[in-house]
Amino acid sequence: MSNPIRLGIFGWPVAHSKSPQMHEAAARALGIELRYERFGVAPADLQEAIRQQHEAAIDGYNLTVPHKESVMTLIDEVTPEAQAIGAVNTVVRTNERYVGHNTDAPGLVRSLEEAGIQLAEARVVVLGAGGAARAAVVGLSGAGAEDVTVLSRRPEQSVALCDSLAKQIDCNLQAAPLSEARACFASATLLVQATSATLESNAGAADFAASLPIDALPPDAAVIDLVYKPLKTSVLAVAEQRGLTVVDGLGMLLHQGAIAFEMWTGLEPPLDVMRSALKG
Ligand code: NDP
Burial class of residue 113 (count of CB atoms within 10 Å of its CB; 0-12, 13-18, 19+)? middle
Distance of CA 28 to the CA centre of its chain: 25
Q: Tell me: do 89 and 160 sit in the same domain.
A: no
Q: Tell me: do 32 and 87 sit in the same domain.
A: yes
Q: Tell me: do 270 and 169 sit in the same domain.
A: no
> Which DSSP helix (H) or strand (E) runs through 85?
helix 80-85
Any atom of ligand 1 within 6 Å of the Cβ of 91: no
Q: Tell me: do 136 and 223 sit in the same domain.
A: yes
Rounded to the nearest 10°, the torsion over CA 16, 18, 20, 26 is 170
Residue 267 CA to ligand 1 center (angstroms) comes to 32
Which residue's CA is minimally distant from atom 12 of ligand 1? Answer: 195
Provide the CATH number for the domain around residue 177.
Answer: 3.40.50.720
Distances (CA, A) of 263 to 37, 168, 187: 18, 25, 38
Mean pLDDT, the chain, integer: 97
Contacts (Cβ under 8 Å, ≥6 apart) of 189: 118, 122, 123, 124, 218, 220, 221, 222
Spell out, as residue ranges, where the chain has pLDDT lower than 50: none
Q: 81-131 pLDDT, tens per residue?
A: 999 999 999 999 999 999 999 999 999 999 999 999 999 999 999 999 999
Provide the CATH number for the domain around residue 73.
Answer: 3.40.50.10860
In whole angstroms, what is the distance from residue 173 CA to residue 163 CA? Answer: 9
Q: Tell me: do 191 and 231 sit in the same domain.
A: yes
Task: Give how many domains the chain has, as a whole number.
Answer: 2
Q: Report the catalytic residues.
A: 68
Any atom of ligand 1 within 6 Å of the Cβ of 196: yes
Q: Tell me: do 195 and 125 sit in the same domain.
A: yes
- The residue to mutate among 64, 195, 255, having the most atoms of ligand 1 within 8 angstroms of its beta carbon, is 195
Q: Tell me: do 127 and 228 sit in the same domain.
A: yes
Q: Are strands 60-63 and 90-94 parallel, antiparallel or unpaired?
A: antiparallel
Q: Tell me: do 110 and 244 sit in the same domain.
A: yes
Q: Tell me: do 54 and 160 sit in the same domain.
A: no
Domain extent, residue 12, equals 5-102+253-279
HSE toward the beta carbon, residue 256, CA cutoff 13 A: 26
Q: What are phi and psi of 246, to 5 degrees?
A: -120, 145
N-to-C CA span, the chain: 31
- pLDDT on residue 280: 83
Residue 226 CA to ligand 1 center (angstroms) comes to 9
Q: Tell me: do 110 and 238 sit in the same domain.
A: yes
Q: Tell me: do 98 and 112 sit in the same domain.
A: no
Q: Tell me: do 126 and 237 sit in the same domain.
A: yes
In whole angstroms, what is the distance from residue 102 CA to residue 120 CA? Answer: 21
- pLDDT on residue 3: 83
In whole angstroms, what is the distance from residue 12 CA to residue 242 CA? Answer: 38
Residue 271 CA to ligand 1 center (angstroms) comes to 26
